[in-house]
Amino acid sequence: MTYIYDNQNIFAKILRGEIPNDTVLETDHALAFRDINAQRPLHVLVIPKGSYVSFDHFAKEASGIEIIGFTRAIGKVCDILGVSIDAGDGFRMIANSGEHGVQEVPHLHVHILGGSSAGRMIQS
């Protein structure tokens, strides 16, 4: 399987600085910014800086340093938002992938949703 990355996707443009974003955290390997259409009081997207379409793509082809950097960034975002289990009320993390995952933007992103209950895992 070959993953085809479209470098004109909106998150690639954000990474290149062509489109503004509401940054929560930037590290060597990840960028976190607020979702433009928040579904919960706290709704942040965390993306790796590398060109990965989806989580499976990233899991198979990213380097160990990229995977650690991205994962640690998610932990830091949870701390920044105050949703960590050790200090807050928790969160829902979602990574939509491909057609059946109903992924709109073809650059890997995880949604961190908090500030109120995320409700049941799947509604329909």
| 16-35 positions binding ligand AMP, by CB under 6 A | 19, 21, 33, 35
**Residue 61 in 3-state DSSP?**
helix
Alpha carbon 31 to chain centroid, angstroms: 8
Cα 35 to Cα 26: distance, rounded to the nearest angstrom: 15
Q: Please state the φ and ψ torsions of residue 13, each to the nearest 5 degrees.
A: -65, -40
What residues are labeled active site?
A: 109
Give the interface segment with ligand AMP, choosing from 49-57, 64-72, 84-92, 100-108 (CB under 6 A): 100-108
Cα 12 to Cα 84: distance, rounded to the nearest angstrom: 28
Closest residue by Cα to residue 37 from 101, 91, 97, 105: 105
Q: What minimum distance in Å lies between the beta carbon of 119 and ligand AMP?
A: 16
CB closer to ligand AMP, 57 vs 87? 57
CB closer to ligand AMP, 7 vs 63? 7
Closest residue by Cα to residue 96 from 113, 84, 81: 113
Residue 36 as a binder of ligand AMP (CB under 6 A): the answer is yes
Residue 37 as a binder of ligand AMP (CB under 6 A): the answer is yes
Q: Select the residue interacting with ligand AMP from 93, 96, 115, 118 (CB under 6 A).
A: 96
Residues of the shown chain interacting with ligand AMP in the complex, contacts defined by CB under 6 A? 10, 19, 21, 33, 35-37, 45, 96, 102-105
